[in-house]
Structure 1
Amino acid sequence: MSDLKKLTAELDCELESILTNSDGSDEVTIYLRNYLRYSLLRRYLKWLLCISIVIAILCASIYYIPFLNWNASAIGRLALIKLVLPYYDWQHLYRSRCLIEQAKEDKFTYKDEAKGYYEFNKDKCAICEKLSGIDRISSTTYATLQSVYLSRDNPVIIDDSHAVWPNQPDVSENFIEFLFDLPDLRNSIPCNIGTNLLQVRSGNSPKLQHLLRQMSKIDSKGWFLHFRNCDFDAVKSSRLIFPLKHRPYFISSHLPPFHTSWILLSKHYNISTEKHLPVKDLVIVLQMSGTLSGRLTVRRDCKEICSDQMLKLNAGESLVFNAQMWDFYYIHNINSHANLTITTIHEIQID
């Protein structure tokens, strides 16, 4: 083997000497140079083919093997949140079905073939033109909820939705400590933050644990905080308070788990300024502690026909509405005597 290597090395040196000393005009030199170029090109193509085959096998494995698919998706989400989000705010694209906006027919519009564009159909506002308040019900079922309210895009309040905080003996009475005990939630970077705890700059959102620690520093001065859990692991952890490990009894088991959630907290924050939350899909607002006031305002041009719906949620009550029809605003209730006001909001995607 050593003799073969020695011979190969001598041939390489001899070939290099010939090519170096030759002026490149003779046929032998031209042939050798073309042969070397062809050999190098063939070697590079072999490497490129091998790499392409490996990448194709890897992609096929990720696509067809659920375990690999799930882990690749998780890594992709983490990369978007940890690496991309601090530099580019992609949150508005998170639930978009199409990245290019286009006119489309929906429940509020129709296409005028003669004019060639979409016009607003005010007949669709009939579902809310007579609505003069939000109904309160109890001991209901999802079938009733769907047929009487959701199919008509009417909001509804369930009086006996869930037990107030805390409703389990193994759960800390201190909700802030409870959040600290959930590592995936504590270490997450929330979205859509609204607070007076600190100045939150676009593209530089702090971790939730930093916001929670800030609460103790200005506890006596009064504070508020609302945020959306957009980290996949944080959403999973927040399901522990839905409320506290169990779905409300009126939510059917056939519905998918909520894809994102909100947490609203306030303490001694007696300000009547409204806060708007850009919620989506089927929305469930659960009042865990204290009182929450607010209003639902109809979207699009139905505002001229349908009036705003005022609401007040006490602990143990919940509000259910379709965010395609209604915008949600809330107020920190100045008459709430609870030490800590806790509200959770959950969004479930439905057809």
Structure 2
Amino acid sequence: MDSLSGVEFRNRLQTEFDGVNLPNSMVFDYPTVTELAGFINGQLGDAPESSTPAMSTSAAPQQSQEPFVEALNSLCNGGSETAASKPVFLVPGAGMQAGSFRTLAARLALASYGLSWPKSIPREEWPSSLKELAELFFAEIQKVQPSGPYILAGHSFGANVCLEIAAVASSKGQQVSMVVLLDPRSLLPLQVDVQAAFAKSGLAESLALLAQTLPGVEGARYAELLDAHAGDGDEAIRKALSPGALSSLEHVHETTQWYSALLQQGEAPPALPGTKVAVLRAPVAWKSAKANETTAERIVREFQALTFQDDKEVASQLSALSQAPEVLKVPGTHFSMLHEPNVIKVAFKVISALNSMEEEDEE
């Protein structure tokens, strides 16, 4: 939900629960039905707290209730079966949560699916290599689209995962027609120790990441919280957040640590013959501070300056691919390119790259 639909949902629930104070930020503080039910139950003085969380009566495993692949929109082009009528699968960066793509998906004229790393999988069962992660994701993608050609797009860290998924698909005899890399700044092989940099980070850094990733009111709320508790440490942030929001933040934090370790161990992607690669590049904005930057902006900028590749380094890494990628410039920063109004131009560039690919195939 966006902020407006979240408030509308809250208002409808409010009519059903007299005497319960439901905040406007309810759907973001308690992002699952179970967490929301627990919050409401805790506000009802005569209702006992349940000792166990509500569970489905289905015998399906927990992870099937929290899918890897989430439909972000259901728009499809009618008519002939062309590459552009296929869905696009969007892979997020640090934190591995697809919610940052919702605004982009709403602007794309094709079905869009986002890949997220679910909370329900025990930590000891998480993949131990980038290839394992790519194989798992590709298996989930095939549940939505059994055969190619596939269209993949990845932002930031997700660019590497897209290239690895393309390699996995190729090894299984499936075609990936296009990979769109959205401002890739950590292409493999890494020349800096990203894993060590993330290992030193705490909840404040993860909160800053969320503040920059989420658009509008959602991101601003986290930025304000970080401003209020700058320098107070992780415990102050834990106390300031609702249980639901803290659970989500801790999941993002743990996932980012794990994700960076996979990338640090990763190798340069193999050649991908027959796969067109397009790069959407945002301006380098982390080399100098802007006026009146928030605490979240400062934390993220300093981290980017430590770990990100500049345009020259990205071009060098891309030169190893089988064909020269098409590089398109887009407005905004590494994160705001996915927010309004910049995302309109980004969506246009994605569709333009797909159309260009189809025209080349016809020739």
Shorter chain as denominator, the TM-score bin is: under 0.3
Bigger Rg, which one: 1
Higher strand residue share: 1
The TM-score with structure 1 as length reference comes to 0.23
